[in-house]
Structure 1
Amino acid sequence: MQNLNKDMYFASAFYFLAFMFLVVFTFNSLSSILTPIAIAFFIWFLINAFANEIKKIPFINKKVLDFIATPLSLIIIIYSMIKIGTFITSSMMELSSVVSQLDSRINIVIDKISTLTSIDLKEPLSKFFQEFNVGTLLNRIFMAFSSILSNMMQIFLYILFLLIDQRFFNLKLNALFPKKENKDKAQNILSTISQSIRTYILITTVVSLVTGVLTFVICQYFGLQGSILWGFVAFILNFIPTIGTIIAVLIPTVFAFIQLDNLGDILSIFMALVIIQFVIGNIIYPKLMGNRLNISQFVVILSLVVWGAMWGTIGMFLAIPIMMILLIILSQFESTKKLAILISENGDIVRNK
């Protein structure tokens, strides 16, 4: 009997690992098909989040707000994406001359740091700058958004049909779950997922926008070339926890070393950007989010690596919303609650119900 239980345990583990391998392989192989769909869902959640905020506007007839909220949100977001696409194109042309100077001025940066520290850091810093290639990193970010823009029509159609279909979600739930108990449970899961993702996207977008504006102000004040772009990069990278924050500070600092001669200004830019990221990321953002982002920091980093490996830069942007959905779903069923506890930050999954 004991041997039978062991065999069943190993069989379950084997099937689980095989299933996970199949899922990862499928997501990786179908990335070109699945990423536009995932982006469409992301934007759809954002549209609904904005629509809900528009519906709260006082002194306007509620029926009027209900009628215009979703179309107005759709127009605002699509218009913003078109403007972002135009901005990225112009910024790439503007910054191409600066990026081309990286290799020629890298030794000047190393000499500045060596003089400051009175230590010969030429060899280790040369290796660091070879590994941390700012030009390549920027190109990856731009390529990710170029990919989104090239699939814009396809993504727009997905969003449009999602917005049309959402009117019939309740009817579909009634048909799928005739029993009231099952229907209420399914409705609760979908409502929790929708509310959590919308809140996460809305708060993260607003906080990222503030971070981007402050980064632009700091770079503009010190006369750093491409200050609008650095603000935009900070805004975008703020959607990638931890890793994005570090990169958003390092990229303008490296370019400050290349462009500016005053070491005091370079250090001031670095310290100002660190303070902005620390205050917003560790004080303001957690207060706004409260307990909504109940995901282990290790799982956050792991999901960034896994989704980044499967879907590239776009996968890193979508990693946290995907993990939030997974955590909420796993927390609803007795058979998967242990996995939800492992994914959660402190083991408290009651809030995700």
Structure 2
Amino acid sequence: MTRFENQGVALKGFAIMAFIVVILAGIKAASPIVVPFVLSAFIAVICNPAINGMTRLRIPRLLAVMLMMIVIVLMGLWLASLVGSSINEFSRQLPVYRGQLVEQFAWILTKLRTFNIDLSREQILAYFDPGAALSMTTNMLSSVGGVMANLFLIILTIVFMLFEAEDLPKKLHFALDDPDMRLKQIDKFLHSVNQYMVIKTLVSLGTGLIVGIGLAIIGVDYALLWGVVAFLFNYIPNIGSIIAAIPAVLLAFIQMGPAAAGGTALLYFGTNMVMGNVVEPRYMGRGLGLSTLVVFLSLIFWGWLLGSVGMLLSVPLTMIVKIALESSQSGRWLAILLADNVDDLVPETSKENVLEEQQES
């Protein structure tokens, strides 16, 4: 390769990087419009299988879409009411929680004094503020609620997306100059995205139900709210379950002491172990995982780009990028870098060849 060709490759790389920066800057500047659209698209993807199921039962598609919209509106209003009432109730109970927190730490303070470490009540409240148990999660839920303030726009966008869903694969084939629909990568990409979102939503719903019921049995306040938080944060593997567990564990410790806090932590750990390592891989299949580093970086990146909604949808958005890269031969190398386990991306035939070579040697 000549010097001029090397310069051309370098200039092309810089140009691509500049295009990406410009596009990201445009998305961030237009986030008030982009965020409701992204949220609408994910809700539409999740709802589309239910719409198709109703149409197979000979329910007109228009009626099926209207019924689904009624369900979404009712769920949105219920979530807003739940978060608002929980915040108001917690604000009223905050002085009581502060007193309970000092009582729970009394034995620790006594033990520390034997080592000449003297901590005051104000220092304990400064390091372990009960208000932080709720503010960390309600701030994110409130941001999502702020996006849902454009409920009318979101509902209209979802309705039009659901009506267009039937013709979307055909339009993509024609747009990519494939009228005979020979490019199976397009169908594979659409199917994989739809499968991931639906299964992830069902697993998250199961996680939220188990956590909510378990916390109600233990006796932790606002069990329903923590169940909703567990449902939403389950879209963020590894990190999300930890973030969702912190306020509930802290509140259980304040209310009932270390034993209840340990039981709450065990509930979250057991639920996420079973749902994340047994149920989800059973129905999701292998090869769709992201490395822990990629999950963490995607949380930061999408959170910076799209705010709190971007943090909640960081892993689904990254998964869509990864699925698209896997469907393309030129982008498969980047999908391998994003994957959690390289072996899941290796075709079975290649694995068999490797085993045969090892046996022969």
Contact kept, 8 Å, 2:43 with 2:158, in 1: the verdict is yes
* Partner-residue secondary structure (3-state), 2:220: coil
CA distance in 1, matches of 2:179, 2:346: 22
Residue 209 of structure 1 aligns to which amino acid in structure 2? L
> What is the CA–CA distance in structure 1 between the aligned matches of 2:118 and 2:157, rounded to whole Å?
52
Report if the CA contact (8 A) 1:189-1:328 is conserved.
no
- The Cα RMSD (Å) is 3.4
Counterpart check, 1:235 vs 2:234? no
Q: What is the CA-CA distance between 1:51 and the residue it aligns to?
A: 2.5
Task: Report matched runs for 1:298-313 at 5 Å.
Answer: 298-313=293-308
DSSP-derived class of the 1:217 partner:
helix
The normalised TM-score by structure 1 is: 0.82
Post-superposition offset of 1:154: 0.9
- Is 1:46 the equivalent of 2:46? yes
Report the Cα distance in structure 1 between the residues aligned to 2:211 and 2:169, rounded to whole angstroms: 44
Residue 59 of structure 1 aligns with which residue? none
1:159 aligns with 2:158: yes
SS at match of 1:133: helix
Q: Which residue of 1 aligns with 2:357?
A: none
* Superposed counterparts of 1:175-186, under 5 Å: 176=175, 179-180=178-179, 183-185=181-183
Please, which runs of 5 or more residues in structure 2 have no aligned partner? Answer: 348-361
Q: Tell me whether 1:91 sits opposite 2:86 in the alignment.
A: yes
Deviates more, 1:15-24 or 1:227-236: 15-24
TM-score computed with the length of structure 2 as normaliser: 0.80
The 3-state SS of whatever aligns with 2:313 is: helix
Distance 1:317 1:345 in 2: 20
1:37–1:158 CA contact under 8 A, matched in 2: yes
User: Is the alpha carbon distance of 1:110 and 1:68 closer, same or farther for their aligned partners in structure 2, counting shifts above 3 Å?
Assistant: same
**Unaligned 5+ residue runs, structure 1?**
57-61
CA 1:278 to 1:346, structure 2 compared with 1: closer, same or farther past 3 Å?
Answer: closer
C-alpha displacement of 1:94: 2.2
* Structure 2 equivalent of residue 13 of structure 1: 13
Amino acid at match of 1:94: E
Structure 1 range deviating more: 331-340 or 232-241: 331-340
- 1:151 aligns to what SS in structure 2? helix
Offset of residue 194 of structure 1: 2.8
2:147 corresponds in structure 1 to 148
Separation in structure 1 between the aligned mates of residue 173 and residue 13 of structure 2, nearest angstrom: 36
Report the alpha carbon displacement of residue 306 of structure 1 after superposing the two structures with TM: 0.4
- Cα distance change, pair 160–180 in 1 and its aligned pair in 2 (3 A): closer
**CA shift in 2, pair 1:129/1:323, >3 Å:** same
Give the distance between the partners of 1:28 and 1:180, measured in 2 at CA. Answer: 35
Q: For each residue in 1:186-225, what CA deviation from the matched residue of structure 2 results, as whole angstroms up to 9, or x when unmatched?
A: xx44433332222222222222222222222222222222
Matches within 5 A, 1:245-324: 245-260=241-256, 262-291=257-286, 293-324=288-319
- Asked if structure 2 preserves the Cα contact closer than 8 Å seen for 1:85 and 1:145, the reply is no
Q: Does 229-238 or 166-175 show the bigger shift? A: 166-175
Amino acid at match of 1:30: A
Corresponding residue to 2:328 among 319, 326, 333: 333
Amino acid at match of 1:237: F
Greater C-alpha radius of gyration:
2
Give me the whole-angstrom Cα distance separating, in 1, the residues matched to 2:314 and 2:293: 13
- SS of the aligned residue for 1:157 comes to helix
Q: In structure 2, how many angstroms separate the alpha carbons of the residues matched to 1:171 and 1:287?
A: 31
**Partner letter of residue 40 of structure 1?**
S
The aligned counterpart of 1:3 is 3
Tell me if the contact between 1:55 and 1:66 (Cα under 8 Å) persists in the aligned partners: yes
CA change 1:28–1:90 in 2 (3 A) is same
Which amino acid is 1:37 matched to?
F
- Deviations, residues 150-204 of structure 1 (Å, cap 9, x unaligned): 01111111112222333544664575355546x432xx44433332222222222
Q: Distance in 1 between matches of 2:86 and 2:68?
A: 26
Paired with 2:101 and 2:203, the residues of 1 have a C-alpha distance of 33
Structure 2 Cα separation of the partners of residues 205 and 121 of structure 1: 49
The aligned counterpart of 1:78 is 73
Pair 167,50 (structure 1): closer, same or farther in 2 beyond 3 Å:
closer
The percent of aligned pairs where both chains have the same amino acid is 26
